[in-house]
Amino acid sequence: MPEESTNHPTDPIDLLSTKDGYDRWAAIYDVDDNPLVALEEPWVDQLLGDVRGLAVIDVGCGTGRHALRLAAAGAVVHALDFSEGMLERARSKPGASRIVFQAHDLAKPLPFPDKSFDRVVCGLVIDHIPDLDGLFREMRRVCRPAGFVVVSVMHPAMMLRGVQARFKDPANGREIRPASCSHQLSDYVMAAARAGFRFDHLSEQSVDEALANRLERARRYLGWPMLFLMRLAPGARESGGTSSVS
């Protein structure tokens, strides 16, 4: 999980590419009690709303945590990731047969026609994407005019705590760090703006007592900004429409 490093400066650390790092992480990703994931999932569900009968794409699906919930809620789901290790785990889970999983590098155009999806979700991915402009343009391209895109990412303030995506390999105890990008909130907001999105929701979420009581690992971040969320609309603002920025 993303966490503060407790390593001594001489302790072994493996710096891997994002793909290789997540291939290694796949075996334990779902049992890691990750407080960032626990904080993020209810917010993503709330921002996506009722997905019954809707076409949804999960961009950077990992082990399928969003894709599986969305399919169970009645959505028609396509899910993309470039980590074969993550996709292998996703495909092995109950309910996976209802989802079209596909290996794809998000540095390349999304393999779908324009306006293919009612909802686009991209959860805890964009801090690994060097070309934010390219991905945001692609997410807008495949989103239908009446739909929207929900994006979540670890808050850049976490880097002030020495936090980035990392985990301990249970086989050898080495710390594994998949490559991440040092983006700021303004980088995410401006990439969305340049892609032509309208901002429907922006928020920064912190660990509260309820989460800290549920996951002891979250307590060290109590009150600290951990998560940044955006809901983005590809169409022009309707007359009299409102945005939610909180």
Write down the pLDDT at residue 109: 98
CB 211 within 8 A of CB 35: yes
In the three-class reduction of DSSP (H, G, I as helix; E, B as strand; rest coil), residue 120 is classed as: strand
Q: What's the rounded mean pLDDT across residues 15-41?
A: 79
CA distance 180 to 177: 8
Confidence band, pLDDT 50/70/90 cuts, at residue 167: low
Confidence band, pLDDT 50/70/90 cuts, at residue 101: very high
In the three-class reduction of DSSP (H, G, I as helix; E, B as strand; rest coil), residue 163 is classed as: strand
125-144 per-position pLDDT tens digit: 999 999 999 999 999 999 99
* Phi, psi (deg, nearest 5) at residue 71: -65, -40
Q: Which residues pair with 50 in a beta bridge?
A: none
Q: What's the rounded mean pLDDT across residues 168-183?
A: 77
CA distance 246 to 232: 14
Name the pTM for this structure.
0.87
Q: What's the rounded mean pLDDT across residues 93-109?
A: 97
Helix (H) or strand (E) holding 57: strand 55-59
Domains contained in the chain, CATH given: 17-235 (3.40.50.150)
Given a cut of 80, whether residue 213 has pLDDT beyond it is yes
Write down the pLDDT at residue 7: 42
Write down the pLDDT at residue 245: 45
CA distance 230 to 61: 17
Handedness of CA 179, 166, 139, 224 (dihedral sign): negative
Residue matched to tokens 């075996």 = 27
CB 57 within 8 A of CB 116: yes
CB within 8 Å of 238: residues ≥ 6 apart: none
Write down the pLDDT at residue 27: 75
